[in-house]
Structure 1
Amino acid sequence: MPSCLRNPWWCSPVATAFHTLDVFTDRRFGGNPLAVLPDASGLSVEQMQQVAREFNLSETAFVLPTKTPDAQRRVRIFTPAGELPFAGHPTVGSAVLLVDLGLVPAGGAVTRFVLEEQIGPVAVTVTTRRGRAVSAQLEAPQLPVVTDRSATTDQIAAVLSLPAAAIGTPQLEPQLASGGVPFLVVPVADPRVLARISFDLGAWQRHLAGTDDQNMYVVRVADESVEARMFGPAFRIPEDPATGAAAVALGGYLAQHAPDGAHRWVVTQGVEMGRPSRIELDVEVADGLAVAVHIGGNAVRVADGTLRVTGYAD
């Protein structure tokens, strides 16, 4: 990009609208906050990353025109550390916003369309109530795969500042699961254990950083409900109040222990952060495998504004 000193035109700010939403909640200041730029066509990839660092939220979504015939829009998702191929709460929040702004025409009480993401096409369904888009559900673009972990129980316990005996349950053990983004799913038996977790960044850097196990999703499973916490320092996310991609991965993990048929789990997250979230996880199970996964929840608009970015893309 030319220097501002050589070409002052490049220093002229490009103004673009942004909106923030709280996702996986029906109340403002709960759930997972998200920034969305509904028209990011004037931004370079470098600028998208700068904007994501400026907002410093777990993710920022950038909506672009799409060249995919069946998709309405393209969405690129950035954490403060880099781009993700897929993430749940930016997909849900972007879908709700696009319908609420009228950028995707509402088709009555339910509007179905496709968003193009780095992982591929993502089918979404937005529900409208009294003229406002209030919730969305997405179909996982990639079925989750579950594999063995490389981290030891002692290493996992050290990172979470828990005794090794607190890791795992009689039925469940830590495993790696991924529906596009890998997560180390760590089950615990007692909900009080979740509250006692103190994430040890030094232990994480020694044992897990740079491995497939580096994103930790700690869960307590009870029948049709799950309590969860997610720690993702590799994304510059110390802790996330709601993690849709982790819920997708969890669907594959839970399917191993579920009978064939349709199952729903309600995942609560963010309680310890003061941002309670609710993710509805629907999984179709056949022979211990997830053959279809949907996640969904509410989203509420919080703020609207204008962002000024210096220069613009080719």
Structure 2
Amino acid sequence: MNSLSYTTVDVFTSTRFEGNPLAVMTDARDLSDAAMQTIAAEFGYSEVTFVLPPENLENTARVRIFTPTMEVPFAGHPNVGTAFVLGQQSEIFGRPIGDKLRFEENAGLVEVALQRREGRVTAATIRAPQPLEIGDTIPEAVIASCVSIDPASIRKNTHAPVFASVGLNFAVSELESLEALAAASPNLNGFQAAASTTTGSHDFSLFLYVRPTAAPWKIRARMFAPLDNVIEDPATGSASAALCAYLVSLRPEADINQHITIEQGVEMGRRSVIELDVVKKAGTVTDVTISGSCVPVMRGEIILQD
């Protein structure tokens, strides 16, 4: 392999140069793990995906997701964007592409439904691969130190800051106002201290959000992960899914079908819109789907050998 083709797309937007950029290597056969990590670091996006033949031929592909510093088991915008890119092709690894895809990932199988308009793929919906898991609560002082805000601006009416996951773990915390959200500024020392005291690792990703009283299911959010070389992420589907699953789980109703919209990336000038649907039955969240539009941006080749 002398060169590697790639496509980039902006995810969770219909406007080019907004949303969250993603690079997709549509045929990553023969690449080593180290090469994948190096390529992801070279792009510097929050994630890059590498598409491989599936281990089980009943599935569409194996998809590996790398941040600039490590491989992750699942993420939202990489799945939506990868499905969008593959949906532009007539086939993958010699097999036709339909409107229903299944990706093998480290977190499990990810089901994808493509959305088309006049025969052209415009968006995708993915299903979270794991059930909701809620971890330990986090002291307000830890959250405040991470993003240089007053601990008093952290709202605890609905829940205390806590870890939540549907395939990838995030610290989630509600703030009292959009002004407090806008004032958040990541402090590397605060994140390093938070990681050592809460996760015992070198990883701590923080998802902050505000819920308007008049429209509590239209949420504004920001996500910071400086320990992973992602100072701020314009759109984080996995964090959005974990948060929304958690919020629905806290509702007193035993059965809910709730649609939620999360707006993210506004403060970065890369506005993103993430649509989520959460199903709760008999008191348990049973299904979380993440939907978003995409727009193509670039195509090119990575030179692997001179």
| Aligned counterpart, 2:132 | 144
| Aligned counterpart, 1:290 | 285
| Aligned counterpart, 2:155 | 168
Determine helix, strand or coil for the equivalent of 1:76: strand
| Aligned counterpart, 1:155 | 142
| Aligned counterpart, 2:179 | 192
Evaluate the alpha carbon distance shift between residue 230 and residue 99 of structure 1 in structure 2; reply closer, same or farther with a 3 A threshold. same
Match of 2:259 among 234, 257, 264: 264
Match of 1:226 among 182, 195, 219: 219
1:250-269 deviation line (CA, Å, top 9, x unaligned): 12221233232100110110
**Structure 2: how far apart are the matches of 1:45 and 1:65?**
15
**Structure 1: how far apart are the matches of 2:97 and 2:139?**
49
Task: Read off the aligned partner of 1:230 and give its amino acid letter.
Answer: M
Tell me the CA shift for residue 302 of structure 1: 0.4
Tell me the CA shift for residue 208 of structure 1: 2.9
Q: Does 1:63 align with 2:51?
A: yes
TM-score by length of 1: 0.89
Task: Read off the aligned partner of 2:34 and give its amino acid letter.
Answer: E
- The answer on whether the counterparts of 2:191 and 2:227 sit within 8 Å (CA) in structure 1 is no
Q: Does 1:255 align with 2:251?
A: no
Tell me the CA shift for residue 287 of structure 1: 4.8
Task: Read off the aligned partner of 1:79 and give its amino acid letter.
Answer: T
| Aligned counterpart, 1:306 | 301
**Structure 1: how far apart are the matches of 2:104 and 2:45?**
22
| Aligned counterpart, 2:206 | 216
1:100-145 deviation line (CA, Å, top 9, x unaligned): 12235454xxx11211111121110001112321100001110121
Q: Does 1:25 align with 2:9?
A: no
- The answer on whether the counterparts of 1:144 and 1:251 sit within 8 Å (CA) in structure 2 is no
Aligned residues with identical type, % of pairs? 39
Task: Read off the aligned partner of 1:200 and give its amino acid letter.
Answer: N
**Structure 1: how far apart are the matches of 2:219 and 2:67?**
25
**Structure 1: how far apart are the matches of 2:116 and 2:97?**
8
Question: Structure 2 unaligned runs (5+)?
Answer: none
Evaluate the alpha carbon distance shift between residue 166 and residue 32 of structure 1 in structure 2; reply closer, same or farther with a 3 A threshold. same
Match of 1:77 among 31, 42, 65: 65
**Structure 1: how far apart are the matches of 2:64 and 2:73?**
8
| Aligned counterpart, 1:47 | 35
- The answer on whether the counterparts of 2:186 and 2:226 sit within 8 Å (CA) in structure 1 is no
- The answer on whether the counterparts of 2:115 and 2:122 sit within 8 Å (CA) in structure 1 is yes
Task: Read off the aligned partner of 2:287 and give its amino acid letter.
Answer: A
Evaluate the alpha carbon distance shift between residue 286 and residue 152 of structure 1 in structure 2; reply closer, same or farther with a 3 A threshold. same
Question: Structure 1 unaligned runs (5+)?
Answer: 1-12
**Structure 1: how far apart are the matches of 2:158 and 2:4?**
51
| Aligned counterpart, 2:193 | 206
- The answer on whether the counterparts of 2:19 and 2:271 sit within 8 Å (CA) in structure 1 is yes
Tell me the CA shift for residue 21 of structure 1: 0.2
- The answer on whether the counterparts of 1:218 and 1:230 sit within 8 Å (CA) in structure 2 is yes
**Structure 2: how far apart are the matches of 1:174 and 1:187?**
7
TM-score by length of 2: 0.92
- The answer on whether the counterparts of 1:280 and 1:295 sit within 8 Å (CA) in structure 2 is yes
Work out which of the two has the higher radius of gyration on C-alpha atoms and give 1 or 2. Answer: 1
**Structure 2: how far apart are the matches of 1:77 and 1:170?**
35
Tell me the CA shift for residue 41 of structure 1: 0.4
Determine helix, strand or coil for the equivalent of 1:26: coil
1:139-191 deviation line (CA, Å, top 9, x unaligned): 11101211222x32112112221111111242332111011211111101211
Evaluate the alpha carbon distance shift between residue 100 and residue 87 of structure 1 in structure 2; reply closer, same or farther with a 3 A threshold. same
Determine helix, strand or coil for the equivalent of 2:146: helix
Evaluate the alpha carbon distance shift between residue 277 and residue 165 of structure 1 in structure 2; reply closer, same or farther with a 3 A threshold. same
Tell me the CA shift for residue 303 of structure 1: 0.4
**Structure 1: how far apart are the matches of 2:55 and 2:185?**
45
Determine helix, strand or coil for the equivalent of 1:208: helix
| Aligned counterpart, 1:281 | 276
CA RMSD of aligned residues (A): 1.7
